[in-house]
Amino acid sequence: MGSKVTFDDTGVVLEDGPRTTAIRWKDTDRIFVFKKDLVVVDLICTTIEAGSNVLNFDEDAEGWLQLVEGLPVYLPGCIQFAEWFEKVAFPAFATNPILIYKRGAP
């Protein structure tokens, strides 16, 4: 069974096998997106940081697209999916990390 990401007005929850981790939006410090080179394909990944609490998941997680598209609703100032996706996706096989949210950033 793969990972599952769910979210609501209070925060995000990652279910990864028997492990469940949650981060509240009000505690979120930074969100990064980047790409992993898996030789034949690339995998777009997301890292959400809140102090020492960190969620790492990728585009194969159930709910990933809905989450990344909805982030600006819950975190004002977060870069829209349409603005960062191609910058991360291309060129192929490059990591292309982007900070899409930082608490307190203008």
**Architecture of domain 4-102 in this structure:** Roll (2.30)
Q: Phi and psi (nearest 5°) for 82?
A: -60, -25
| 106 pLDDT above the threshold of 80 | no
- Residue 1's pLDDT is 57
The mean pLDDT value for 39-52 works out to 92
Cα distance between residue 30 and residue 17, in whole Å: 24
- Please state the pTM of the whole predicted model: 0.93
Domain-wise residue ranges, the chain: 4-102
Q: Exposed, middle or buried: residue 28 (CB in 10 Å: 0-12, 13-18, 19+)?
A: buried
> Is residue 92 very low, low, confident or very high in pLDDT (cuts 50, 70, 90)?
confident
